[in-house]
Every structure is written in C-alpha cells, then in structure tokens.
C-alpha cells in the first residue's frame, strides 16, 4: 500500500482544508495511507505528523485556515533543512508528497525533489492568484469576495460623505485581487502593477485629482483600489499626496489579513476538492514534479519548473475595459 | 447616434444590475443613447421606459434584484404581444435590443427578431446555469453561494443532532446548482437529473438508507441535496419514504426564493460587467441574433438558435468524482 | 475540589458553544473540575462524557451547533430515565449540574432535582426566546439575524416582480422571532399568536387582500411574515387562500432549519459568555434550582418553577406600533 | 398641520435609514409634513432639502449609509452658521427638528435651540455607543458585528500560524466596541481606555509578553484588541514594541471604515425604528430639548444637556470578567 504525505505551506488560504479533505477521502477510497505534516515544511523537518484519517476532516470543509497549520519555513532555504525534510520522508517510507501552497512553497518542493527521488505534486494554494498553470488558485475567490463585501461597506460611508477613499488590497506583486475587486466594487480608479510604474507617481496623482474633480459634479464618492507593495509609501503616502495637492479630505483603509481567512466560497471549495482528487489520481498514474491546476474548466498538469519560472499575466483586456469604458465619465 | 434598448426578463438573478450598469456606462462612453424598459417584455408591450442615464446605476451594482424590474410575460406567447413589442421598438426608433434573461426570455427575443429587422443580443441571466453558450450564467455563482452558506447552517444543527437532512435546491431541470452546492457542502448524497430517473425512486431510497446506516457508525449527520422538480412528491415525499422505510427522524428544508436574491458575488458582478460591455461592442460591430457568454475565460458569441436548442450538459466527471471518491466510505 | 457537569439539550441554538467555553474557562479559573455530557440528557443516561478541558473549546466560540451535541430525550419523560440520569451524576460524584436548553430541558432539570439533592442551574438556550426570566435567550439574536438577511434576499425578488411573498419563520408558540424579523425587514404584514386567532382566518385574508390592493398602487412588493404553528394548514394554505380569493400569484417560503445554525452574533456570544460565567459564580455561591438570565442589562436569577410556569409576553407596544404606524398607508 | 424637519449628521452609522423610514411613515400616519435636509447641518445652512415622502424610503431599510447623506459641519461652530441654519428653519416654517447623530451633532442641536424657539429632538446615531441616555446607540450593534466577523477571519490565519495579531477597532474615546468585540472573538487581551493609561505602556507590554509566553505552550494564536486613539503611536507602535522586546513576529490590522457601513443588524434596525416612531410621538406630546434613547427595554427621554455633559460608563463587571476569568490561563 502506497503512503502519501501532505502539508500546507506559506500564507494560509481559504479552502486549503477542502483540498486536505478531498485528498484524505480519496486516499481512503484508493486504500492509500495518508500522513499529514504540521506547520508547513517545519513539520517535515521536526517530524510532527498525524494520520489524516484521525482528523475531523469533514467539519473543516466550511472553515478557513488549515487544520494542518501553516508556516513560512526559513530552514528550507538551507541545504541542511532540505536534507532533514528528506530524512523524515524516508523515515516514514513516504511514496509521494503533496504540498499545497504558493510560489515559495513550490520552490521548496523542487528543493526536496533534488534529494528525494519519489513523487512530488504541488497544488496552488494562495490568495494572490499569482501562479502560472491554473486560472485561479485555491483561496483567490474567497479573498476577492471578502475584500468586495468589505469595500461595499466602505462605499456606504463614502457615499454618505461624498468622500474619496483609498483601499489597499493584497496581491503580493500582482493585480489579480486589485482588478477583480476594483471592477466588482465599481471603483473609480484601480492602481496596480499592470497600469502603474513608480516613476509615474506624480502623473498618476494629477490624473486622479482631475478625475475626482469631474466626479464631484455628478455622484459623490470616489473609490481608489490600490495594490499592496506598489505605491512608494503605500496608501498613507497616496492619501497625503491627494489631500495636499488636491486640498481634499480623503481617507484610507488597508484591508490586511481579513483577506486571508473566512469560510471559503463554493468556488474555492469546489476547485480545492477537484484538485485534491486529481492530485491523488496523479500519484496513482506515476506523475511527478508537477503542479496540478485548472485551466479553461479542465484539470491541467504543469511542471514545477514552468510554474515557478513563468510569471502569470493578468488579462489586460480586463484592465483596459475598466480604464476606458467603466470610468469614461471621469475623463 | 445609435439608440439601444435593454430589459431584464424572467426570474430575476443577482448581478442583472451589474450588466445594466456596464451597458449604460459603455453606451455613455460610445455616445449611444440607452433606453430601459420595465417589467421584462411587459414594458416593451406597454411602453414603460426610462432613460438609463437617469437611474442611479452605480448604486445598484452591489444589490440583488433588477432596477428595471422583471416579469414573466404571457403576452409574448401570442403574435399580438410580439407585434406590439415590435411597434414600441419602432416608435422609439431603437437600433438594437439587449435582453438579459434565461431560456424563455431568449425565445421571446427570437420571436421579436421575426418581425423586427434590427439587432437583437441576448445575455444569459438566470441562476439555473442551464443555458448553452456560456460556462456560467449571470446569477449562478450567487445562487450557489447563498445555498452553500444556508446549508452550512443546517449542517451545524444536523451535526448537533446527528440527523439526516434533505435540502431541496433550485435549478429548474438541471443539476448545476445541486452538484455545485452538494460538493461545496460535503453532502453525503446528491440526487439530481444527472444521476436519477423517476422509476428508480425505490432503489434510490434503499441505497440511501444503506448509506445512512453506515454513516451512523462513523460521524453523525447525513446531508442529502435534492434538485427541485425531480423527486415524485418532492422533498416532503422523500422524507416520508426515508422515515417510514428506515424508521428515521429525518428533516427537510426547501431553500426556495432566498436563492434568487442578495448582493451578487464578485464572480457574478465581473461576469455581468464583462458581458455587458461585450454586448455593446457586439452592437457596434453589427452582430445580430446572438447570445454573448463566456467560455474558458473568453467572450463567446452563440446564435440564439444554438443556445435555445442545445441543452447544456453538466460535467459528469464532477458527478462521478462525488459519487465514488467523496462518499466512498458510505459504500 | 468541586465537580461540575454541563450538557446542552433540546433544539440546538447558536452560541451554546460560547456558554460552554465560558463555563469551562471559569471552572479552570476557580479550579473546579468540569465534565461535559454528550447528546443532551441521553449522555447522562448512557454516561457518555468528556473532560471539558480536553475539548478545543476556544475554536468553538465562533461556530454554531454544540460541541457536546444535543438531542431531545424521550427517556427523561419516564421515572426510570430520570433515575438513571441521577445515578450517573452520583457515580461521577457531581456537585452541580448546568443545563443549557429551552422549556422542556428545564423541566427535565426539575425532574432530576426531585431525586438528586445537589445543585441544578439552568441557562436559557433556545432560538425562540419563549422563556421567562431573561430578556433574550441564547441563540435568539442569531436566529433573528439569519431570518432577516434571508428575507432581505427574498425582498429583492419580490421587488423585482412586485409580488406578494409569505415567509414562515420559527418561534414555536410565540411571536418573538416573527415580530422582530417582521419589523427589521419592513414586512407589510406580520401574522403571529399575538394578533391572530384561528377563527379569524377568513377575516385576516380579507384584511390582507385589501392592504395588498392598496399597496399595488404605490410601491410593489408585499411581504407577509407568518409565525409557524399558527395558520391552519400553514404558509401553503395561506398562499392558496390569498391566490384564490384575490386572484394573485403570491409565493411562499418556509425558512426552516437555517434559522437554528450559523456563526452566532456578538450579542449571542456575549450573552452566553456572561451567563456562563454567572452560572459558575452561582454554584460557588450555593445557588440552586434557578435559571440565570439577563433582564434590563443585569444578570437575574429566577426559580426554575417561575421560569416554566409563567409564559413570556411579547411587548405589545411593539406590535401595535407596527400595525398602526409602519403600515398605516395600507389602511 | 405640523411640519417636521430631519437630518443625519456626523459620522454615518448603520440604520440611520431605518430611523428616517420610521419618522417618515409615522409623519404620514399622523398627517404631518416631513422635510429632510441633506449633508447634515450643511443642508440646513445651504437649504438643500427634500420632501421625505418622495424618497424610496422602504428600500433604504436594509442598506447602510444614509439617504440624506451626512457630513461634519464646521460652519456650525460659528455663530453665523447657527443663525443661518435657524433662518432656513424659519423660512420653511418648521415646527420641530429631529437630528440623528452623535455627541457633536447633539451639541449643534443645542446651539440651534439657543436661537430658534421651537422643538428640537435628538436621536443617538453613532457606532461608538458613547452617548449617555441610551443603552445602545443606533449603529453600534452593526459595527460590533462587522468587526467580530472580520476578526473571526483573522483568527483563522492567526490559528494557522499560531501568531500574535493586534487588531485596532473604532470607538473614539471609549471601549464599548473594543470590549464587546474582544469578548465576542475570545480575544486573549483587550486594551482600552477602561483598563489602560498612557504611562502604563511599558508595563502593559511586559504583561502581554508574559501572557503570550504562557499561551505559546497551549493553543497557538494570541489576539489583542486595541481601542483607537489610545496607544501612543497606535497599533503599529504596539506591534513594534512587542516584536522588539519579545522577539516576536506579530502582525497588526486596523479595521477602519469597514466598521461604519454595511447592512444594519436587526437589532439596529429595530432600535432605530422604535426611536424614530418615539421621536414623532414626542413632538406630538410637545417634548423639547431632549434625546430619545432606550434603556432597560424602555424608551427614555434625557435632556440634551444631560446627554452631552455626562460621560457614558462601560459596565466594569464586564471588563473584570474578561480580565480575570476568560484569560485566567494566561496568568
């Protein structure tokens, strides 16, 4: 009987539990053993493990976070750490390792593959949706939903006060969250990596001030969605620039970690379930060194190397549509 | 300057307002006039209209329902009704008509096309997702989300009582909602058009009773998702059969119209926005007699004829995965 | 060291877990042992117990249901059942028993008190708010909230179709849920025990039909909140009467068990926490044979006898205000 | 026929719309005219008004913000501004003015009363709950609910990472939100005006670090709720102190304006409806110079002077219960 190990790593994302459930149930169906390691790669290094059949896996389906806990693991950046992780895999006689996480976690999986010759499979678990090889990552839908409903509330206040609000959303170094949330909330401006470079900051401030001026004559509020890690000085600096140059009283809000947790959307639960089942199938079919994603409605396998080295593009048609048609009245 | 008419028809679905907003803003951007007709086709027959620029279209983005109201229109089944609708279109010198609705609404659009030679464009607006030519219809994501979160609450009680619950969900004559909700909520059984025919009712009851018996020995609750319009006598009859033959105390709940309303998910808002923009583009590009949908991430045009006459299939891989792997422990 | 037992009984209600958490933490603080019995009184009869310190009690705070499970227990209606429950309490040398539940559960507690001479304390856990001795029961706020947000969704559809909707809500034999939900959702009519007797059914139908007629000329939808267990034949029968006599196409929805579960509101969590702490204090202060509630912002003790034999009245000022001022335009 | 004016002022709070609806419907019932002024006192100064019967007041019931808009009005701090506001009241021959807002808004009402001899009535509309004369202000329940559910999501991530999180909540200069949210979310520490003074900052940091250390050995996450306007340097400074002195990797989140908006809870809608009805009754009963609130379940009138000059105390039993029993294991 094969023995499969699984862990969740890096920033947690909603529906990681749904993936763990699908993997556990599918292992039961195929009569495979399934061992979970806690705290990301740390649990592999320290050998903290659990028989997945012993966890209350069904109850976890509707909850955020991950019952295997997660962590960013600095030890995996050293050769010793990787060797220690491989030793634990050998000690338990593991046949295949499934890692659910983002970019850094999949790099860790590649490092393990260098020293451990059995099967490794990655699943895309990150709210940022910045992984090639899948249309959506596990957790992205929930993060966009949480941010959208939070900003709907801010819009209420912005409308009541006819006020300018800057809302900073997550996304690491890409605008997937910013653009999806911006269009869903009818943001008057979206500032993200795809339509902004740092040396344009002054130009952008002027552009936005002009748009705000036009807006003032029609309906009141003006909402700016700002991607994190983008504007020099962040949302606070943008607010200060707008207020100073435009003599405004704009406000700002950094949504922060509320975007990571919460009960996952059905979209995320179902994606996680499908990819979880597919990862066990892939192991049974002797697949190795791949990440499993879903593109255009179909389960797709991509080599870890291609996932990690090809940056994922945001559909620029989307970007242009927003810029031109939805905010045309600002021009 | 071209003049575009728009209406929402049939069962309302969340994010119809987002589609109306995108159409209105895009018409403004392209300097087209945009007239809305109220109450579905009734407004076309009775000439109840509004200049879309006069509605508070941005505020509608986050709300369910439709600011143009909706209705099922029996008059459209008669030749007189259709002729009267066409007369109104001529009276206002409309160049193109966009209808947002389901199967019946698109048939109405075909009927109009018979007598009115200008452009007609359909957009898929129904919670049931039973329209060919688009992966998801506008409103489907929200309906699945609402049902999922409602059933999460039922699961709490079912777990506390270790009880069998039957929950009937919408879907007209297809299992899109039933299967998506069933997998998202970890339902122990899903009964839908794709895996059930009426003459199997007795076999199905026995099958489920066996599964419930197995379940009783492990973890407590047992959740059955039932598609509407399927079981002879509905959820009540299924409950009575289970309780009688299995000497159970199962309970049932018909989710009903809560599945139609509510603030739309970002998925629905963004789909509606993209299709709304694409419908105005299509008019500018002289397209006619089509429905605009989104398949595999791409905007797609399908002739109304193909949309209406080709039933949409549910991915049976999905169905089988649920049946076999996720509930294997019941067998 | 004292030893306290706790159980949750009858229909589960949100924030029962918050009460269990407060009791467990307070026992720890006061260095008391705390034993939980599963499945309501059944666990007492069958001796299914757990050391509360071993449960993941903090994680339960935000979730519906009850980690001790619940049940209605028919054995408690017999003398044998009660004696068996008392035997288990003696076997474990329990000093005090806390029961969280509704009317029937507190009657069970009285029965135990007849045969077991140590301390018994009740906490009001039911969504129906039909217990004397407390302004609100634990779970009532969440049930009203869930029903309100569900009906907000139905209102979207009702507005889009300008349609009459009947929504049946829980409440057992009182109108606490019906009136609180009815006013919160702006219902055009509320039909409950406080303003209806069965022999008035025909009069009521005529009254509502007149109001619907008036409404039709102003803004569209007409929402009727109906208390369960009230109308002969239920919501379905009311719908049929309205549709037949008024030639309407009204729709109906029975909210059902979604009202029992779900993440508790902060009001319910905080009430449950305060009453949970107070129940341990009461035990330390040698209190016995009481239910602990909160009235006018103050923790209050009421004898079990007074709780059970005095029906709780709904504030009729509330009722009249709705009837007269909020729906005056219908008259 | 009497003529009543109404406006919403200061920071908007959820269910201001419900109060406006109740006032409008009650005026209709009593055949009084009802005029709304926009943008708080600014609308009074600039004479921007609307006949309340012309607004879609029923639809506003379930939405956040205020359909009369709101503003903080600096002109009211000058004699000229106040005189201009009074002139507008005279110009429209207003008999009574109802203002829904917080502390500053009620001071504005007092200023008007100095120069305008007709009736003035205040309603408590602020999320901060810092007004004497009412147990809860309109909007408080919703703010606590929004913050609680947001922090539930942060708890998911905190648990997954076994991490320390500081969450800053609103409240102006009182701990009503901080303590209600802190207990509802099971926060391990609450830092607010009631249990902290600025010169204790170093002591508090040490105290918390000790508690975190104890916590580390049991279950993972540690949540600190911090009241705004309290800690020198805010949540960021507290985070830096903890991380530096405790060599931690704690994170922080400022919830900000999401706490002001959103669909109001039924508690807020029903409080606002009751107080709105009571304010019209008070006018008919020749009451003047009062704020109407609800204490211990009863509608209560308090002179504006007493509301403004008596600070509202937080129940310290609540505070102590949290400090001692719920976090006992941290000591």
Rounded average pLDDT over D21-45: 97
- State the chains in contact with B (3 or more Cβ–Cβ pairs under 8 Å): A, C
Most D CBs within 10 A among A161, A263, A265, hence the mutation to make, goes to: A161
A65 contacts D159? CB cut-off 8 A: yes
B99 vs B1, more confident: B99
Which of A151, A252, A262 lies at the smallest CB-CB distance from D156?
A: A262
Answer yes or no: are the C-beta atoms of A150 and A284 closer than 8 Å: no
What pLDDT, on a 0 to 100 scale, did the predictor assign at position A71? Answer: 93
How far does C120 lie from chain D, in Å, by closest CA? 22
Distance CA A251, CA B138 (A): 33
| Chain B residues with CB-CB distance to A181 below 8 A | 266
> Tokens 């994680």 sit at which residue?
C59
Residues of A (35-94) whose Cβ lies below 8 Å from B: 56, 58-59, 61-62
End-to-end CA distance of chain D: 66
Residues A72-83: b if buried by 16+ CB within 10 A, e if exposed: bbebbeeeebbe
What pLDDT, on a 0 to 100 scale, did the predictor assign at position A331? Answer: 60
A150 and chain D in contact, CB less than 8 A: yes
What pLDDT, on a 0 to 100 scale, did the predictor assign at position D219? Answer: 61
D185 and chain C in contact, CB less than 8 A: yes
Which of C39, C160, C255 lies at the smallest CB-CB distance from B66?
A: C160
D65 contacts A152? CB cut-off 8 A: no
Q: What is the pLDDT of residues C259-282, one digit of tens each?
A: 999 999 999 999 999 999 999 999
Which of A12, A156, A260 lies at the smallest CB-CB distance from D261?
A: A156
pLDDT in tens, chain C (331 residues): 799 999 999 999 999 999 999 999 999 999 999 999 999 999 999 999 999 999 989 999 999 999 999 999 999 999 999 999 999 999 999 999 999 999 999 999 999 999 999 999 999 999 999 999 999 999 999 999 999 999 999 999 999 999 999 999 999 999 999 999 999 999 999 999 999 998 989 999 999 999 999 887 766 899 999 999 999 999 999 999 999 999 999 999 999 999 999 999 999 999 999 999 999 999 999 999 999 999 999 999 999 999 999 989 888 777 777 778 888 777 6
Which of D274, D296, D328 lies at the smallest CB-CB distance from C296?
A: D296
What pLDDT, on a 0 to 100 scale, did the predictor assign at position A219? Answer: 61
CA angle B275, B281, B284 (to 5 degrees): 150
Check if the interface score ipTM surpasses 0.90.
Answer: yes
- In B, minimum Cα distance to C162 occurs at B69
User: What proportion of chain B, given as a percentage, has pLDDT over 90?
Assistant: 89
Beta strands B164-169 and B222-227 are parallel
C183 contacts D25? CB cut-off 8 A: no
Is the pLDDT reported for residue B320 higher than 90?
no
The residues near D8 (Cβ < 8 Å, ≥ 6 apart) are: A160, D16, D20, D40, D66, D68, D69, D70, D99, D100, D101, D125
Which of A29, A144, A270 lies at the smallest CB-CB distance from B183?
A: A270
How far does C57 lie from chain B, in Å, by closest CA? 15
Answer yes or no: are the C-beta atoms of B269 and B18 closer than 8 Å: yes
Res. D61 pLDDT band, cuts 50 70 90 = very high
Is the pLDDT reported for residue D331 higher than 70?
no
Residue B74, Cβ density class (10 Å: 0-12 exposed, 13-18 middle, ≥19 buried): exposed
Rounded average pLDDT over B47-66: 95
Give pLDDT < 50 ranges for chain A.
Answer: none
B135 contacts A297? CB cut-off 8 A: yes
The model carries a pTM of: 0.97
Which of A70, A71, A258 lies at the smallest CB-CB distance from D150?
A: A258
The residues near A93 (Cβ < 8 Å, ≥ 6 apart) are: A3
Q: What is the mean pLDDT of chain C?
A: 95
D21 and chain C in contact, CB less than 8 A: yes
- In D, minimum Cα distance to A165 occurs at D257
In chain A, count H helices and then E strands: 11, 11
Distance CA A38, CA A8 (A): 8
DSSP A232-282: TTHHHHHHHHHHHHHT---EEEE-GGGGT-SSPPHHHHHHHHHHHHHHHHH
Q: What is the mean pLDDT of chain B?
A: 95
Which range among B134-148, B316-330, D253-267 shows the weakest confidence by mean pLDDT?
B316-330
Rounded average pLDDT over B293-303: 96
Rounded average pLDDT over B206-225: 88
What order do you get walking across the sheet with B189-191 strand by strand?
B189-191, B222-227, B164-169, B251-254
Structure tokens at D307: 């509301």
DSSP A117-145: -SEEEEEEB-TT---TT-SS-BTHHHHHH
**Inter-CA distances, C199 with A187, C203, C323, Å:** 56, 9, 20
For the question of residue A46 being annotated catalytic, the response is: no
Of the residues A46, A93, A95, A128, only one is catalytic, namely A128
What pLDDT, on a 0 to 100 scale, did the predictor assign at position B331? Answer: 61
C159 contacts D29? CB cut-off 8 A: no
D184 contacts C325? CB cut-off 8 A: no
Distance CA A296, CA A300 (A): 9
Most C CBs within 10 A among D184, D274, D300, D328, hence the mutation to make, goes to: D184
A270 contacts B152? CB cut-off 8 A: no
D269 contacts C183? CB cut-off 8 A: yes
Res. D215 pLDDT band, cuts 50 70 90 = confident
Q: What is the pLDDT of residues D66-102, one digit of tens each?
A: 999 999 999 999 999 999 999 999 999 999 999 999 9
Which of B59, B296, B318 lies at the smallest CB-CB distance from A296?
A: B296
DSSP β-bridge partners for residue A98: A6, A121
* Residues of B annotated catalytic, as ranges: 128
User: What proportion of chain D, given as a percentage, has pLDDT over 90?
Assistant: 89
User: What are the structural domains, with CATH classification, of chain B?
Assistant: 3-139+264-309 (3.40.50.450), 143-260 (3.40.50.460)
3-state DSSP assignment of residue B91: helix
| Chain D residues with CB-CB distance to C180 below 8 A | 266, 270
Which of B26, B59, B315 lies at the smallest CB-CB distance from A325?
A: B26
End-to-end CA distance of chain C: 66
Res. B219 pLDDT band, cuts 50 70 90 = low
Q: What is the pLDDT of residues C25-51, one digit of tens each?
A: 999 999 999 999 999 999 999 999 999
Is the pLDDT reported for residue D57 higher than 70?
yes
- State the chains in contact with D (3 or more Cβ–Cβ pairs under 8 Å): A, C
The residues near D42 (Cβ < 8 Å, ≥ 6 apart) are: D48, D71, D73, D75
Most D CBs within 10 A among C55, C186, C312, C316, hence the mutation to make, goes to: C186
Residues of D (253-282) whose Cβ lies below 8 Å from C: 263, 265-267, 269-270, 273-274, 277
Distance CA B119, CA D275 (A): 54
Is the pLDDT reported for residue B215 higher than 90?
no
Q: What is the pLDDT of residues B5-28, one digit of tens each?
A: 999 999 999 999 999 999 999 999
B270 contacts A180? CB cut-off 8 A: yes
C220 and chain B in contact, CB less than 8 A: yes
How far does D326 lie from chain C, in Å, by closest CA? 6
| Chain D residues with CB-CB distance to A254 below 8 A | 253-254, 256
Residues of C (83-142) whose Cβ lies below 8 Å from B: none
How far does C195 lie from chain B, in Å, by closest CA? 27
What pLDDT, on a 0 to 100 scale, did the predictor assign at position D326? Answer: 86
B325 contacts A26? CB cut-off 8 A: yes
User: What proportion of chain D, given as a percentage, has pLDDT over 70?
Assistant: 98
| Chain A residues with CB-CB distance to D155 below 8 A | 261
Rounded average pLDDT over B302-314: 93
How far does D246 lie from chain A, in Å, by closest CA? 19
Q: What is the mean pLDDT of chain D?
A: 94
Of the residues D47, D95, D103, D128, only one is catalytic, namely D128
Structure tokens at D164: 């320390």
């Amino acid at each position: 009987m094969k023995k499969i190990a699984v862990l969740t790593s890096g920033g947690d994302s909603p529906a990681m539990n749904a993936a763990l459930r699908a993997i556990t149930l599918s292992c039961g169906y195929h009569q495979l053993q399934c061992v979970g390691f806690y705290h990301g790669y740390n649990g592999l290094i320290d050998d903290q493990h659990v028989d997945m059949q012993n966890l209350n896996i069904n109850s976890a389906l509707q909850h955020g976070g991950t019952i295997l806990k997660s962590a960013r693991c600095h030890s995996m950046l050293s050769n010793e750490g990787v060797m220690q992780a491989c030793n634990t895999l050998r000690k338990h006689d593991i046949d295949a390792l499934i890692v659910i996480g983002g970019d850094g976690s999949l790099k860790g999986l590649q490092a393990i593959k260098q020293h451990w010759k059995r099967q490794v499979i990655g699943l895309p678990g990150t709210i940022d949706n910045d992984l090639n090889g899948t249309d959506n990552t596990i957790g992205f839908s929930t993060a966009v939903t949480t941010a959208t409903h939070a900003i709907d509330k801010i819009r209420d206040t912005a409308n009541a006060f006819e006020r300018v609000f800057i809302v900073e959303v997550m996304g690491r170094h890409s605008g997937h969250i910013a653009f999806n949330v911006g269009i869903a909330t009818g943001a008057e401006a979206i500032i993200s990596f795809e339509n902004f470079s740092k040396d344009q900051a002054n130009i952008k401030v002027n552009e936005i001030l002009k748009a705000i001026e036009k807006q003032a004559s029609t309906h009141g509020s003006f909402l700016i969605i700002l991607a994190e890690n983008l504007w020099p000085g962040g949302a606070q600096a943008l607010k200060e620039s707008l207020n100073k140059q435009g003599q405004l009283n704009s406000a700002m809000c950094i949504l922060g970690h509320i975007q990571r947790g919460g009960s996952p959307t059905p979209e995320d639960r179902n994606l996680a379930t499908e990819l979880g089942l597919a990862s066990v199938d892939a192991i049974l079919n002797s697949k190795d060194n791949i990440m499993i994603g879903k593109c255009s409605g179909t389960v797709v396998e991509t080599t870890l190397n291609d996932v990690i080295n090809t940056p994922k593009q945001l559909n620029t048609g989307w970007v242009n549509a927003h810029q031109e048609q939805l905010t045309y009245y600002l021009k």
